[in-house]
A and B are shown apart, each in its own frame.
Chain A
Amino acid sequence: MQSSYPDAPEVAPRKLARKATGVDRVFELCASAIGATVLIITGGIGAFLAGQSVPTLQRYGWSFFTESAWQPEADSLGIGAVLVGTISVAAVAMVIAFPLALLTALFISEYAPAGMRSTLISLVDLMAAVPSIIYGMWGYFLVMPHAAAFALWLQQNFGWIPFFKVDSDPNAAVWDQSRYIGSAFCAGIAVAMMVLPMSCAVMRQVFSQTPPGEKEAALALGSTRWGMVRTVVIPFGRGGIIGGTMLGLGRALGETIAVLLIISPDFVIKPRLLEVGTNTVSALIAGRFGDASAAQLSALLTAGFVLFVITLIVNTLAAIIVNRSRSGAGTDA
C-alpha cells in the first residue's frame, strides 16, 4: 500500500500470527486428535455398514428390496416384507402420535395455567426418558387385549377399507382374538408412546418461540384464544410441527424392543394393519442374528444399513425444516 503522504515513512502492516504456537498448538493438536478418533469410530461404523452391504447387493441385486421371504436355506433373501412392515408400524405410530403430540404441545404452550407449565414440560421430558422396554410391556400386557377388541370393531364397521381387513369372520359367535393381536396396529400403539414425547417437545419448543407481540396483537384485535392459536401460533410453528413429526418418525422406524415384544413375526407384504403377523427391519435383526452365518450376517447388516440410511434422510430433512423455522424467529416486532 502506498502512503498518501509522499514524505511519510513506509509503514508495513503489523503481522498477526493466526497459527497457534507453543501450548496452544499442543491443545489444538490434542483436540484434533480426539475429534479424529471420534470421526474414525463413528464414520468407521457407517463405512463398515456400507462396505458390508456391497457383497449382499451384488449377490441379490434389486430383488433384495422386493423379495419378501427371508429364507437363507433356500437362498432367497429380501427385505421387501420387513420394509413394508417397518413403514406400516411407523405409519400407525405417527397417525396416533401426531395429533396427540400437537394437541399436548398446544395445551402446554397456550392453554395450561402458567404455574403448571414447567411441571408439564418436565413430565413430557420424563415420558421421553422412559425406556422403550417399559412401553413394550405396557403395550403387550395392558393395551393389546383392548387393541384387539378395537380392531374387531374397526373390521366390523370399516372392513371394506383394505387397511382394516382381517382374514377372519368378524361376526363369529366367539371372535378369534388370536387373529387380531401381534399386529402392526398393536405395535404401532406402543411405538406411538415412544415418539409422542419427542415430537411434542420439539413442537412445544417452537411454539414457545412465537413472538409474544404478535400473539398479543391478535388478542387485542378481539381474537379468541383459538383464533390466536390458529392464526399466529400454528403458522409460526409450522416448521416445528413438520420437523418434530419427522424426528419422531425417524425414531419410530428404528424402534426395536417394543416391536419385538408385541409382533408375531411374519414375512408377507400386506396392507392389513389389524391382522396378526408383521415384521420390521430392527425386529428381523434382533430375531435372526443368533443363528446367522457370515453371509446372512452381511445380509442383516445390509438391512440395518438400509434402515440407517432411511432414518438419516428423515432426520436430516427434519433438522433442516426445524432450523429453517427458527430462522424466521427474527420477525418479532
Chain B
Amino acid sequence: MTTTQAPPPVKETFLPVIDTDAAPQHPRPGLGKPTSEESFTLIGTWVAALAMAWLVTQRLLPLGGWAWLVVAWFALGILFTIVTGFMSGRRIDVVDRVAGAVITAGALVVGAALVSTIGFVVFRGWEPLLHANFFLDDMSGVGPRDAFDRGGIGHAIVGSAIQLGIAIAITLPLGIGTAVFMTEVGGRFAGVVRTIVEAMTALPSIVAGLFIYTVLIVAVGFPRSGFAAAMALSVMMLPIIARAADVVLRVVPGGLREASLALGASRWSTVWHVVLPTARPGLATAVILGVARGVGETSPVLLTSGVATFMVTNPTEGVMNSLPLYIFKGARSPEPMDIERAFAAATVLLILVLALFVIARLVARQRTTAPRPSLLGRLRRPTHRQEIS
C-alpha cells in the first residue's frame, strides 16, 4: 500500500458557513407592537427621569419653576434612554430610541403650544362670554370700567360679516372664473395670468391694505369704511382663491372633459355640468379656507376701515369695526377689562375659524364617498367586479 501523498496546500476560496436557522448575533429591532419588556423600559425610563428631574431641580439645585423641571426631565430622559438602551441593545438601537424620543418630544412641544394658545385665549376671555349681550350689543357709551353685562361685540361681528360678504362676492366669481380660464382655455396668455397670480400670493397683507389706502382713500377720497376694508380683503384673497381653485380644477380627470365634448356638449356646458360639479368639494374647501384666512386678517383692515364703537350696517357710510380690529385695539388698551373683552372676542373669532375649518373638512370629505350611481352604473358595476375577480 502506498500512502498517498497529501496534495500541496491549495489556496481555496473561503466559504463562510452560514447557519440560516441560528438566531442573529444581535436581536433585530422589532417593528411591530412593543413587547411588554420594551414598554416597561420606556415608561420606566421616563418616570425615573421625572423623579430625578424633580429631585435635581426642586431639591438640589436652585432651579425652581416648572420650566426647568420640564427641561431637566427631557435631558435626563434622553440620558436614561441611552443607559437603558445600552443594557439591551447596540449603539444603533440606542440611536434609534434617542431619535424616537427627540421626534416625539418635538411633536409634543408643538401640540403643547397649540393647546396653550387656545386654552389661554379661552381661559382669559370666558367671563364676558357668559353674557348674551356680549354677542348682541355694541360698545357705544360703554366705558372701559363697565361690567360685562353692558356692551358687546355685536357691531364687530356684523362688520366682519359685511366686509367678508362683499369680499366673497367679489373674489368668488373672479377667482373661480380665472381658474376656469387658466385650466380650460389655456394658451400663452393663461400662462402669463397664472404666473402673475402666483406671484401676487406673495403680497404681504399689510401691503395690500396700504395699496387700497393709497388708491381708494388718499387718492380718490373715499372715506374709511367697510367697503374699503372689503376691497383690501379682496385684493388679498383673490390670488389665494384663484390659485387654490386652479390647483383643484387641474386635477379633474381629462377623460371627463373629453367624454363631455365627444358627446357634443359645448365648452361652456362641459365646464358648468362636468368640470365644476366634479371639483365642487375641492372648490368649496379652497373658498372656505380663503375665507378663514380673510376673517382673521387684521393688517389690511387696520389701514382701511377705521374703528367704530357703534353698530354700522352701511359699508359705504363711514368707519366700521370688525372682529380682528376690535381684538387688536382691545389688546393694546391699558384697561384690564378691555383686554378681557378682547380675549373674549378672540375666543369668538377662534370658534368662527374652527367652525369654518370643520365645514371645509366635511365638504372635502364628501369627495371620498362615491356619488349615487346611475341606473346604468348600478347595472354595470357587478359585471365590472366579476371581471376583476
Residues of A within 8 A of B (CB): 20, 22-24, 26-28, 31-32, 34-39, 41-43, 45-46, 48-49, 52, 99-104, 106-108, 110-112, 120, 122-123, 125-127, 129-138, 140-142, 146, 193, 196, 200, 219, 222, 224-227, 229-230, 250, 253-254, 256-257, 260-261, 282, 285-286, 289, 294, 297, 300-301, 304-305, 307-308, 311-312, 314-316, 319
Contacts and interface: CB of A to CB of B under 8 A. Distances in A.
Contacts of B166: none
Contact of B268 (A27, A193, A260, A285): A27
B100 A131 contact: no
Interface stretch (B14-22, B151-159, B349-357, B369-377): B349-357
A106 B293 contact: no
B197 to A, nearest CB: 6
Contact of B211 (A39, A45, A146): A45
A286 B124 contact: no
A103 to B, nearest CB: 3
B295 interface: yes
Interface in B170-197: 173-175, 177-178, 180-182, 184-185, 189-190, 192-193, 196-197
Given A42-B197, A107-B103, A311-B202, A49 B109 contact: no
Nearest to A313: B202
B114 interface: yes
A24 to B, nearest CB: 4
Given A304-B210, A312-B199, A31 B177 contact: yes
A108 B185 contact: no
Given A137-B346, A226-B100, A286 B299 contact: yes
Contacts of A35: 177-178, 181-182, 185, 189-190, 193
A141 B120 contact: yes
Interface string B109-123: 111011011101100
Interface size class, chain B:
35 or more
B336 to A, nearest CB: 11
A137 B343 CA distance: 8
16 contacts: A34-B180, A36-B189, A41-B235, A42-B196, A42-B239, A103-B102, A129-B289, A130-B353, A131-B297, A131-B298, A134-B117, A138-B117, A256-B205, A286-B302, A312-B202, A316-B202
Query: Which residue of B96, B173, B324 has the most chain A CB atoms within 10 A of its CB atom?
Result: B96
Contacts of A316: 199, 202
Contact of B238 (A27, A38, A254, A294): A38
A286 B210 CA distance: 8
B93 A224 contact: yes
B42 interface: no
> Which secondary structure characterizes the binding site on chain B?
helix
Interface string B314-344: 0000000000100110011000000100110
B342 A137 contact: yes
B181 A31 contact: yes
B201 interface: yes
Contacts of A126: 114, 354, 357
A255 to B, nearest CB: 8
Nearest to B292: A129
A28 B267 contact: yes
A301 B214 contact: yes
Given A224-B29, A289-B303, A142 B116 contact: yes
Contacts of A307: 204, 207
B198 interface: yes
B140 interface: no
A113 to B, nearest CB: 10
A131 B295 contact: yes
B96 A227 contact: yes
B34 to A, nearest CB: 12
A31 B184 contact: yes
Of A41, A106, A146, A282, most buried by chain B (CB within 10 Å of CB) is A41
Contact of A256 (B299, B331, B332, B353): B299
Contacts of B190: 35
B110 A229 contact: no
A228 to B, nearest CB: 9
Given A45-B211, A100-B109, A34 B177 contact: yes
Given A132-B298, A133-B296, A319-B198, A294 B207 contact: no
A64 to B, nearest CB: 17
B200 A42 contact: yes
Contacts of A111: 100, 103-104, 107
B274 interface: no
B385 interface: no
A219 B111 CA distance: 29
Contacts of B297: 131-132
A131 B361 contact: no
A20 to B, nearest CB: 7
Contact of A282 (B106, B113, B299): B299
Contacts of A122: 361
Contact of B346 (A134, A285, A312): A134
A102 to B, nearest CB: 8
A293 to B, nearest CB: 10
A301 B272 CA distance: 41
Nearest to B176: A34
A28 B213 contact: no
B332 A261 contact: yes
B328 A257 contact: yes
Contact of B349 (A23, A36, A131, A304): A131
B178 A129 contact: no
Closest 3 CB pairs of A and B: A131-B296, A103-B106, A254-B204
A261 B177 CA distance: 38
A126 B361 CA distance: 10
Given A34-B181, A42-B239, A301-B211, 4 more contacts: A35-B190, A142-B116, A225-B96, A308-B202
